């Protein structure tokens, strides 16, 4: 089993946003030449996350961020963390720091409407995404 790794940067522009990174991940998978395997997409940040969701209608991302902000507002009374970003830590933990996607014939096996998203909850910032491609045929 062969493993190939790549890191790329994501520049966020707002405090909270979801950035479609499907193209970058797909490009890494294609260049790795993996016919059968999987890819791990990992976010090494405690106030950001990785998720898979609909990429056809941008209102889905808006609605997700709206709901998370309503459930976990930035200035909620009682937070103790002195940096003022406790909500971002909670959102990151709930969404999760990684996704694993099957790969077949050098393609991500995502559903028709699915995309991979980098979720920023404490931006704007320059972030990193780790991608690890596992070739099960080697």
Rounded to two decimals, the pTM is: 0.95
pLDDT in tens, 58-108: 999 999 999 999 999 998 888 888 888 999 999 999 999 999 999 999 999
pLDDT at 81: 83
Distance CA 93, CA 99 (A): 13
Q: Which residues contact 39 (CB under 8 A, 6 or more apart)?
A: 25, 28, 29, 100, 101, 103, 108, 131, 132, 133, 134
Q: Does the pLDDT value for residue 3 go beyond 90?
A: no
Ordered domains of the chain (ranges, CATH): 2-135 (2.60.120.460)
Residue (of 62, 80, 59) closest to 70 by Cα position: 62
Task: Give the containing element (helix H, strand E) for 59.
Answer: helix 59-71
Task: pLDDT band for 125, please (50, 70, 90 cuts).
Answer: very high
Alpha carbon distances (Å) from 114 to 75, 105, 109: 32, 18, 10
pLDDT in tens, 8-30: 999 999 999 999 999 999 999 99
């Amino acid at each position: 089993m062969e493993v190939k790794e790549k890191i790329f940067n994501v520049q966020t522009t707002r405090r909270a946003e979801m950035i479609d990174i499907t193209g970058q991940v797909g490009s890494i998978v294609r260049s790795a030449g993996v016919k059968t395997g999987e890819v791990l997409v990992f976010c090494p940040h405690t106030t950001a996350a990785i998720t898979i969701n609909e990429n056809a209608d941008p209102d889905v991302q808006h609605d997700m961020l709206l709901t998370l902000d309503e459930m976990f507002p930035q200035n909620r009374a009682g937070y103790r963390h002195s940096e003022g970003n406790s909500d971002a830590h909670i959102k990151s933990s709930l969404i999760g720091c990684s996704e694993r996607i099957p790969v077949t014939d050098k393609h991500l096996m995502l559903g028709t409407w699915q995309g991979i998203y980098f979720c920023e909850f404490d931006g704007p910032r320059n972030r990193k995404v780790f991608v690890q491609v596992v070739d099960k045929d080697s």
